[in-house]
């Protein structure tokens, strides 16, 4: 039969061999159920909307600057 120490020393184990029996435990810790009230969710949604609007405004501004740069400022 195979000697486990010999296999280990010859690098016959995969990189995550120590985690072979624990993948479900690691996944369960990654997902934590969060229960939030409606007002908190609405506030978070409003923050997300504001962030998107700010990003769109910056994108529009950068597009205008790029247009002026490419065409020159003579217009």
What was the pLDDT predicted at 28? 59
What is this structure's pTM? 0.48
pLDDT above 80 for 57: yes
Q: State phi, psi for 72 to the nearest 5 degrees.
A: 90, 165
pLDDT digits (tens, 9 = 90+) for 10-50: 766 655 556 555 555 555 567 777 889 999 999 999 999 99
Write out pLDDT tens, residues 5-14. 676 677 666 5
> What gap in Å lies between CA 64 and CA 19, rounded to an integer?
52
């Amino acid at each position: 039969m195979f000697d486990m120490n010999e296999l280990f020393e010859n690098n016959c184990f995969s990189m995550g061999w120590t985690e072979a029996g624990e993948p479900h435990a690691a996944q369960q810790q990654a997902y934590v159920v969060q229960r939030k009230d409606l007002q908190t969710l609405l506030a978070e949604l409003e923050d997300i909307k504001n962030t998107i609007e700010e990003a769109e405004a910056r994108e529009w501004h950068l597009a205008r600057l790029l247009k002026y740069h490419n065409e020159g400022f003579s217009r």
